[in-house]
Amino acid sequence: MDLLLILTYVAICVVVFKVFHIPLNKWTVPTAFLGGVVLIGALLLIMNYNHPFSEAVRQYYATTPIIAEVRGRIVEVPIQANTPIKKGEVLYRIDPKPFADEVRGLEGELVAARKDLERSRELVAKGAAAERSLDQTRARVDELQAKLDDARFNLQQTTVWAPSDGFVAQLILRPGMMAQPLAMSPVMTFVHREERTFYGWFRQNSLLRLVKGSEAEVTLDGIPGVIFKGEVNEVVPVVGEGQLKPGAELRRFDEEKSTGRVAVAIKITDPALDQYDIPLGVFGQAAVYSEHFHHVGILRRVLLRMAAWMNYVFPLH
């Protein structure tokens, strides 16, 4: 953009000097040069502050690690990778037989324990048994009921369903593998189907010009030469570099290696995006246009379109 402005200004100067026959001397040439520096510098400063640009924009998406609730052997994986899945569809099944056997065994023990409880009540009512024996029998029934509830829950967990609409991007799970209820060992990662939201990382000096509802434009590296209309959906109220976590170490000055940037959620409202089949997590650039010095925003629009065309020759961009 700066080169384009310089070339435009030089062309205007050449025309002015030719048309009005202005002589080239120690007064006119420096005046034209300094005038260009002041004019172009002022335009760039006004544009950069009032219409901020982010060279780092990415679409982020939510995933859920699917962790087995019970240990068992996989007997069925009815889904396919990268295929849309509706909420409630089966992701995989674990062999339910050991869990069903445990449920049946506890159900039988619970029936016998309840009969013992009834007999204990009759004996206590007749004075032939102590209250303690009744309490012990009742506690035994409650214990078996709790174990039965846990066993039934474990039996239900042998079938795992999709938590929402989405898909599984990388499916390695196969029948015959063992599922382990370990938090660090998910059997698959579920990608949720949600509305696309792009986050641009803007410099902090533009913070006063980043306002929810402002007009925005986005270009994606994977779709060269195309500009998508959008708007600022949210200015994230925290900067990650300032985060503190519980710990024994105190903060140190030498940790301040980066000032950090402000994350801005941009919603693309342009329906043209729907015609492109692009993967989640794509990268691009974005510009936000404020109400201040609105006409100078044309420079930012030109600059963003130049960046969009440069995506055709991304090795040089």
The percentage of the chain sitting over the pLDDT mark of 70, rounded to a whole number, equals 86
What integer pLDDT is reported at residue 307 of this predicted model?
86
- Which residues make Cβ contacts (< 8 Å) with residue 120, sequence separation at least 6? 129, 133, 134, 137, 138
What integer pLDDT is reported at residue 178 of this predicted model?
92
Q: Which two tokens stand for residue 258?
A: 């980066």
Q: What is the mean pLDDT of residues 88-98?
A: 94
Q: Convert the pLDDT of each residue in 129-156 to its tens digit.
A: 666 777 778 888 888 889 999 999 999 9
Beta strands in the chain (DSSP E): 53-59, 63-66, 72-76, 90-94, 159-161, 166-168, 178-179, 188-192, 198-202, 215-220, 228-235, 262-268, 283-289
What integer pLDDT is reported at residue 6 of this predicted model?
66
What integer pLDDT is reported at residue 29 of this predicted model?
63
Q: What is the mean pLDDT of residues 151-177?
A: 93
Q: What is the mean pLDDT of residues 257-282?
A: 90
What integer pLDDT is reported at residue 219 of this predicted model?
94
What integer pLDDT is reported at residue 115 of this predicted model?
84
At 120, which helix (H) or strand (E)? helix 97-126
Query: Looking at the DSSP assignment, which residues form a beta bridge with residue 166?
Result: 85, 192
What does pLDDT average to over the chain? Answer: 85
Q: Convert the pLDDT of each residue in 11-25 to its tens digit.
A: 777 666 677 677 766
Q: What is the mean pLDDT of residues 76-94?
A: 93
Q: Which two tokens stand for residue 221?
A: 């590296």
What integer pLDDT is reported at residue 141 of this predicted model?
83
Q: What is the mean pLDDT of residues 211-235?
A: 92
What integer pLDDT is reported at residue 97 of this predicted model?
93
d(CA 159, CA 194): 25
Higher pLDDT, residue 235 or 317: 235
